[in-house]
């Protein structure tokens, strides 16, 4: 940093009262049962994250993790599987003393989700190894890392075998997608509510565990300069992009029956949308925040078939080149039928019909096998009322605020300045805050599951979806899924892997005199 720059910025350094003090959590002794404890999610995310939390000394001395899955194996063999998963997928080196500390908390139950005896064995294990918390209760966390079709069986057995409320201090963590549509989500909530109270249910969406996603609320409501502009008077439109360069990897069975809306839109995209559009909550507490989000979902303009045909875009990828590598089409992926009509791309124009946003379009898009991996929200401001300055550019660039979630975690403000020289020329530049480079060495970025698992252990539901939230998100997307499943399909595949999606998605903005940021 030059001396001059240092002089200017030093005036803004945090005052001593803003010193960041590492938070210490008092996590009570717990037992976590992972249904699907040998599966993909467990091996890639959960077990490495739990190891990391243990290594960072965030877990209490007394905790146990029980993997529950159908294959036969002993506790010792499960420990070996966990060790290999941490080595393969984790970010931490397995240092022996840490591993020894973690290793002795791991157990395994081999069982079937629909077999009562398996739950009896589990129950016995829970009795043997769980320790009481300060309230004299045993805390038991059930993580359901299993395909949705197994959920009803698991809940019914937990209830029947008396392993839930009134017996243990429980929490249950459920992966997305929660149901296949609003009706199945309601039914699933009904089944869960027979065994667990709503305050015990943690519906996980790993996007809410991302630092930059959490930062949206801080950015909006901890600064005074943006919120006065955050409305229809100053904002022309908003774009939300969740683009992936990856294909479906080894999840053909799940993906082909789900498709892009259930996989990404109903949860990740809707969460991003509500964080950008919601009103300030009356406090930073789970229900206050979740209720404001629900109001957003409820004010999204209802979509009839005409609207859906005009303002939504469905796509499926063809073969192509992604990052220099030839990749097959969706229909050529292993275990995908060669006439599959499952969409891998979604774009749409939504309106939020409330006082703040009336008339402001929100353009949303997400897809697999796009040109690159990028998740961002861009707020496009209106042009100033007069064009005072002559410019050599034909196009006057409006101010754009970019909240970049990944791959770079940054906030970028696109503004116009005078180009140095004797003329009066406008020149576009970026003001940028980049988490990694600006806070280099000062911070640890918790991985999404790290933050979310700790929140669950602490009993904080802020970053988890509520029952009403889930139902209202489904209410938004259900008509689109239905229309897409019923109506005659566009010719699929309709976009090349490595591109930015179907032509119709470009036209969606072009027809409004706008364009996607890329």
Catalytic residue positions?
268
Sign of CA dihedral 226, 227, 230, 233: negative
As a whole number of angstroms, the distance between CA 242 and CA 92 comes to 28
Instruction: Scan residues 259-298 and list those touching ligand BG6 (CB under 6 A).
Output: 263-264
Of 266 and 329, CB closest to ligand BG6: 266
Q: How far is the CB of 260 from ligand BG6 (least distance, A)?
A: 9
Q: How far is the CB of 39 from ligand BG6 (least distance, A)?
A: 14
Of 28 and 263, CB closest to ligand BG6: 263
Q: How far is the CB of 406 from ligand BG6 (least distance, A)?
A: 6
Using DSSP, state whether 77 is helix, strand or coil.
Answer: helix
Of 244 and 455, CB closest to ligand BG6: 244
Q: How far is the CB of 44 from ligand BG6 (least distance, A)?
A: 11
72 CB-contact burial (10 Å; exposed 0-12 / middle 13-18 / buried 19+)? exposed
Q: How far is the CB of 448 from ligand BG6 (least distance, A)?
A: 7
Largest CA distance in the chain: 85
Phi-psi region of 173 (alpha: psi -120 to 50; beta: other; left: phi over 0): beta
Answer for the pair 170, 135: CB distance below 8 angstroms, yes or no: no
Answer for the pair 103, 83: CB distance below 8 angstroms, yes or no: yes
Q: How far is the CB of 246 from ligand BG6 (least distance, A)?
A: 6
Starting at the edge strand that comes first in sequence, how are the strands of the sheet with 410-418 ordered? Answer: 312-315, 345-351, 361-367, 235-243, 374-381, 400-406, 410-418, 426-434
As a whole number of angstroms, the distance between CA 168 and CA 158 comes to 11
Of 138 and 451, CB closest to ligand BG6: 451
Of 169 and 376, CB closest to ligand BG6: 376
Q: How far is the CB of 240 from ligand BG6 (least distance, A)?
A: 13
Of 264 and 371, CB closest to ligand BG6: 264
Name 407's Cβ contacts closer than 8 Å, sequence gap at least 6: 373, 374
Q: CB neighbours (10 Å) of residue 308?
A: 18
Contact flag: residue 376 with ligand BG6 (CB under 6 A):
no
Q: How far is the CB of 460 from ligand BG6 (least distance, A)?
A: 21
- In sequence order, the β-bridge partners of residue 351 are 361
User: The tokens of 353 are what?
Assistant: 């019909």
Of 263 and 292, CB closest to ligand BG6: 263
Answer for the pair 160, 438: CB distance below 8 angstroms, yes or no: no
Q: Is the peptide bond before 73 cis (omega within 30 degrees of 0)?
A: no
Of 59 and 477, CB closest to ligand BG6: 477
Nearest residue to ligand BG6 by CB is 263
Q: How far is the CB of 150 from ligand BG6 (least distance, A)?
A: 17
490 CB-contact burial (10 Å; exposed 0-12 / middle 13-18 / buried 19+)? middle
Question: In the stretch 32-71, what mask flags binding to ligand BG6 with x, by CB under 6 A?
Answer: ----------------------------------------
Select from 99, 107, 93, 118 the least CA-distant residue to 38.
107
Of 244 and 471, CB closest to ligand BG6: 244
H or E segment and range at residue 143: strand 139-144
Q: How far is the CB of 201 from ligand BG6 (least distance, A)?
A: 19
DSSP letters spanning 333-351 = STT--TT-----EEEEEEE
- In sequence order, the β-bridge partners of residue 377 are 240, 403
Select from 381, 315, 307 the least CA-distant residue to 350.
307
As a whole number of angstroms, the distance between CA 301 and CA 247 comes to 31
Instruction: Scan residues 77-116 and list those touching ligand BG6 (CB under 6 A).
Output: none
Instruction: Scan residues 116-175 and list those touching ligand BG6 (CB under 6 A).
Output: none
What is the rounded (10 degree) CA torsion for 10, 14, 19, 20? -100
Of 31 and 329, CB closest to ligand BG6: 329
Contact flag: residue 244 with ligand BG6 (CB under 6 A):
yes
Residues that bind ligand BG6 (CB under 6 A): 244, 246, 263-264, 375
């Amino acid at each position: 940093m030059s001396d001059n720059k240092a002089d200017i910025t030093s005036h803004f350094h945090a005052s001593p009262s803003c010193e960041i003090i590492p938070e210490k959590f008092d996590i009570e002794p717990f037992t976590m049962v992972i249904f699907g404890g040998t599966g993909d999610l467990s091996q890639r995310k959960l077990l490495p994250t739990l190891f990391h939390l243990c290594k960072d000394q965030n877990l209490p001395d007394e905790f146990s993790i029980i993997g529950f899955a159908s294959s036969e194996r002993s506790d010792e063999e499960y420990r070996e599987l966990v060790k290999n998963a941490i080595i393969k997928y984790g970010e931490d080196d397995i240092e022996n003393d840490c591993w020894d500390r973690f290793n002795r908390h791991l157990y395994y139950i081999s069982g079937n989700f629909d077999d009562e005896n398996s739950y009896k064995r589990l129950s016995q294990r829970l009795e043997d190894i769980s320790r009481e918390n300060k309230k004299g209760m045993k805390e038991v966390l059930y993580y359901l890392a299993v395909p949705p079709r197994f959920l009803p069986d698991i809940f019914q057995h937990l209830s029947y075998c008396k392993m839930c409320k009134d017996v243990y201090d429980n929490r249950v963590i459920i992966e997305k997608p929660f149901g296949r549509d609003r009706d199945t989500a309601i039914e699933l909530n009904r089944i869960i509510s027979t065994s667990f109270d709503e305050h015990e249910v943690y519906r996980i969406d790993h996007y809410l565990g991302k630092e930059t996603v959490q930062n949206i609320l801080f950015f909006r409501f901890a600064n005074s300069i943006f919120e006065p502009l955050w409305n229809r008077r100053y904002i022309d439109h908003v774009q939300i992009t969740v683009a992936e360069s990856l294909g479906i990897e080894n999840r053909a069975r799940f993906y082909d029956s789900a498709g892009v809306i259930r996989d990404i839109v109903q949860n990740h995209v809707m969460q991003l949308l509500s964080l950008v559009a919601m009103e300030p909550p009356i406090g930073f507490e789970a229900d206050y925040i979740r209720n404001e989000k629900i109001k957003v979902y409820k004010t999204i303009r209802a979509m009839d078939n005409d609207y859906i045909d005009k303002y939504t875009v469905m796509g499926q990828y063809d073969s192509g080149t992604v990052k220099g590598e030839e990749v097959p089409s969706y229909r050529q992926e292993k275990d995908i039928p060669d006439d599959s009509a499952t969409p891998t791309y979604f774009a749409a124009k939504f309106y939020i019909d409330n006082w703040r946003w009336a008339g402001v379009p929100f353009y949303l898009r997400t897809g697999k096998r796009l040109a690159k991996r990028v998740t961002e929200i861009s707020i496009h401001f209106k042009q100033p009322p007069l064009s005072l300055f002559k410019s050599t550019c034909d196009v006057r660039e409006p101010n754009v605020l970019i909240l970049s979630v990944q791959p770079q975690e940054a906030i970028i403000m696109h503004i116009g300045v005078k180009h140095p020289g004797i003329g009066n020329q406008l020149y576009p530049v970026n003001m940028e805050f980049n988490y990694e480079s600006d806070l280099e060495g000062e911070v640890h970025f918790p991985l999404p599951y790290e933050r979310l698992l700790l929140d669950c252990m602490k009993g904080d539901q802020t970053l988890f979806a509520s029952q009403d939230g889930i139902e209202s998100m489904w209410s938004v997307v259900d008509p689109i899924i239905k229309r897409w499943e019923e109506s005659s399909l566009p010719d699929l595949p309709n976009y090349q892997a490595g591109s930015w999606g179907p032509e119709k998605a470009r036209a969606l903005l072009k027809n409004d005199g706008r364009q996607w940021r890329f």
